[in-house]
Amino acid sequence: MNEAKTKTVYLGMIADIMHPGLTRIISEGAKHGELVVGLFTDRAVASRKRLPFLSYEQRREVVESIKGVSRVVPQDEWSYIPNILKFRPDCLIHGDDWKNGAAAEMRQKVFDTMAEIGGEVIEVPYTHGINSSGLFNEVKALGTTPEVRMKMLRRLIEAKPIVRIMEAHDGLCGLIIENLEVEKGERVEAFDGMWSSSLTDSTSKGKPDIEAVDLTTRLQDLNNILECTTKPIIFDGDTGGKTEHFAFTVRTLERHGVSAVIIEDKTGLKKNSLFGTDAVQTQDSIENFCNKIKTGKEAQITEDFMIIARIESLIAGKSVLDALQRADAYVEAGADGIMIHSKDKSGDDIREFCLAFREKHRKVPLVVVPTTYNHIYEEELAGWGINVVIYANHMLRAAYPAMKAAATSILENERSLEANPLCMPIKEILELIPGTK
Ligand code: SPV
Ligand code: MG
């Protein structure tokens, strides 16, 4: 038997978009022995950057069928070290593009660990002109499908310690949320998806947040967001309306590729929760609301769409115990997740609820909207068992004072020169939207 063939060669890859650079490194690796591909899981990828378009299973199917690949194993961390220690390969193969920048530290650790286990690192020249990041941008420009977008929320909840959602009420908000990235050392922070808020959808139309803007009108704006983004959407379904109507809402949202609807257990004329007990907040009976959840679940066609039940007990001045009892009933009725809301500034009631809820329901996704208790960091919320954090109104609240300041300056000065520093340069607005030229 050929001695080289008994060696094992480890190659880590995400393999979301296959290209010749990847197939070349696979065939090079296979020349040195049995090639084991360490396929990055969604969790490993999400710890550093946005989720792949394809799920782990889809990517595994592709990689397993490539000539030269002997075996595919999951790489569940961004770091190669745990898998090197687990599989103890004779060689590890990598492109030489990790010599500089953020990856250089990982490269050093890999060299050290391979030396410790008596293995070697093979570096192959990077294939210029084609790479995953460039292709990723091209795929993103093509858009997504409703099905892929819808699935994304469940995958994110599985893969991330906490999923970060930002309010969007028009296409421009959508573009910011889609593209904004903040580099923090080796990590890139970004929003994972969008919240279609009843408060900001209503306010941006000059209407109160009392379910006065109907679904058709809200979907018109949502369509603009869908057209220029690929990230998942959580829709604020208010009370869900009449149970019979909610069944249609669910199907309409599914058809649009929305990932989840959140409905709140209120009845009568809905008032915004942040009024708390200053407004009359009538909670629905547990029985009625459970019936609404069941009807929605029966109406949905896909397996991926989520109906999340929002509990308003704390908003209505009731106890954490009341909220917990309702949570049990809603989960029992088939809710795919629970949103617990409060306008208390301390966050203590939310913490108490979440810790108690997690004792009983270990996996059911928990969603919060920390508008008032916003001193608490995401990491701490994740520690309470929270899966999704929604920044529910910040794009609109940020835009309004900025617009008002520019308008005031023009009135005060009777010309727009002084407003210049408050406005984005004309050149920038012309270049903002691809295809304007
Ligand atoms: C919204 O954004 O419309 C919400 C969250 O429902 S809250 O305004 O806090 O009620
Ligand atoms: Mg709302």
Tell me, yes or no, whether 254 and 351 share the same domain: yes
* Residue 3 pLDDT greater than 60, yes or no: no
Q: Which residue's C-alpha comes closest to atom 5 of ligand 1?
A: 392
Tell me what pLDDT residue 432 has.
84
Q: Which residue's C-alpha comes closest to atom 2 of ligand 1?
A: 197
> What's the rounded mean pLDDT across residues 210-221?
94
Consecutive H or E run containing 301? none
Tell me, yes or no, whether 347 and 414 share the same domain: no
**What is the pTM (predicted TM-score) of this model?**
0.88
The last residue of one of the domains, among 114, 134, 154, is 134
User: What digits encode the pLDDT tens for the residues 114-123?
Assistant: 999 999 999 9
The last residue of one of the domains, among 93, 114, 134, is 134
**239 C-alpha vs ligand 2 centroid, how far in Å?**
9
Helices and strands in the chain: count of H runs, count of E runs: 17, 17
Tell me, yes or no, whether 17 and 102 share the same domain: yes
Specify if 109 maps to a domain: yes
Tell me, yes or no, whether 419 and 384 share the same domain: no
Q: Provide the percentage of residues in the chain whose pLDDT is more than 90.
A: 81
Per-residue pLDDT band for 49 (boundaries 50, 70, 90) equals: confident
> What's the rounded mean pLDDT across residues 163-192?
93
Q: Which among 74, 38, 56 is positioned nearest to 155, based on CA atoms? A: 56
Specify if 437 maps to a domain: no
Consecutive H or E run containing 6? none
Tell me what pLDDT residue 130 has.
63
Residues 390 and 234 sit within 8 Å (Cβ to Cβ): yes
Specify if 337 maps to a domain: yes
Q: Report the pocket of ligand 1 as residue ranges, CB < 6 Å.
A: 197-199, 209, 236, 272-274, 369, 371, 392-393
Tell me what pLDDT residue 277 has.
86
Tell me, yes or no, whether 328 and 402 share the same domain: no
The last residue of one of the domains, among 106, 134, 162, is 134
Tell me, yes or no, whether 91 and 198 share the same domain: no
Ligand 1 atom closest to the Cα of residue 272 is 10
Q: What is the CATH number of the domain that holds 183?
A: 3.20.20.60
The rounded distance, in Å, linking the Cα atoms of 231 and 225 is 10
Q: Which among 53, 256, 60 is positioned nearest to 138, based on CA atoms? A: 53
> What's the rounded mean pLDDT across residues 62-81?
96
Tell me, yes or no, whether 195 and 130 share the same domain: no
Specify if 213 maps to a domain: yes
Tell me, yes or no, whether 161 and 105 share the same domain: no
* Residue 348 pLDDT greater than 80, yes or no: yes
Tally the domains of the chain.
3
Which positions are catalytic?
A: 209
Residues 292 and 263 sit within 8 Å (Cβ to Cβ): yes
**296 C-alpha vs ligand 1 centroid, how far in Å?**
21
Tell me, yes or no, whether 151 and 119 share the same domain: no
Tell me, yes or no, whether 286 and 201 share the same domain: yes
Tell me, yes or no, whether 117 and 183 share the same domain: no
- Give the mutation target among 197, 204, 368, 396 for probing the ligand 1 site: most ligand atoms within 8 A of CB: 197
The rounded distance, in Å, linking the Cα atoms of 406 and 160 is 39
**207 C-alpha vs ligand 2 centroid, how far in Å?**
13
Tell me what pLDDT residue 127 has.
72
Residues 350 and 342 sit within 8 Å (Cβ to Cβ): yes
Specify if 139 maps to a domain: no
Specify if 273 maps to a domain: yes
Domain that holds residue 96: 2-134
Ligand 1 atom closest to the Cα of residue 262 is 6
Ligand 1 atom closest to the Cα of residue 371 is 9
Distances (CA, A) of 233 to 115, 295, 297, 364, 390: 46, 22, 18, 19, 11
Per-residue pLDDT band for 103 (boundaries 50, 70, 90) equals: confident
Q: What is the CATH number of the domain that holds 123?
A: 3.40.50.620
Tell me what pLDDT residue 360 has.
97
* Residue 1 pLDDT greater than 50, yes or no: no
Ligand 1 atom closest to the Cα of residue 273 is 10
Specify if 238 maps to a domain: yes
Specify if 96 maps to a domain: yes
> What's the rounded mean pLDDT across residues 49-56?
88
Tell me, yes or no, whether 388 and 262 share the same domain: yes
User: What digits encode the pLDDT tens for the residues 236-277?
Assistant: 999 999 999 999 999 999 999 999 999 999 998 888 989 888
* Residue 20 pLDDT greater than 60, yes or no: yes
- Give the mutation target among 270, 274, 308 for probing the ligand 1 site: most ligand atoms within 8 A of CB: 274
* Residue 293 pLDDT greater than 60, yes or no: yes
Tell me what pLDDT residue 278 has.
87
Average pLDDT over the chain, rounded to whole?
93
**150 C-alpha vs ligand 1 centroid, how far in Å?**
22
Q: Provide the percentage of residues in the chain whose pLDDT is more than 70.
A: 95
Helix (H), strand (E), coil (C) string for the chain:
CCHHHHCEEEEEECCCCCCHHHHHHHHHHHHCCEEEEEEECHHHHHCCCCCCCCCHHHHHHHHHCCCCEEEEEEECCCCCHHHHHHHCCCEEEEEHHHCCHHHHHHHHHHHHHHHHCCCEEEEECCCCCCCHHHHHHHHHHHCCCHHHHHHHHHHHHHHCCCEEEEECCCHHHHHHHHHCCEEECCEEECCCEEEECHHHHHHCCCCCCCCCCCHHHHHHHHHHHHHHCCCCEEEECCCCCCHHHHHHHHHHHHHHCCCEEEEECEECCCCCHHHHHHCCCEECCHHHHHHHHHHHHHHCCCCCCEEEEEECCCCCCCCHHHHHHHHHHHHHCCCCEEEECCCCCCCHHHHHHHHHHHHHCCCCCEEECCCCCCCCCHHHHHHCCCCEEEECCHHHHHHHHHHHHHHHHHHHHCCCHHHHHHCCCHHHHHHHCCCCC
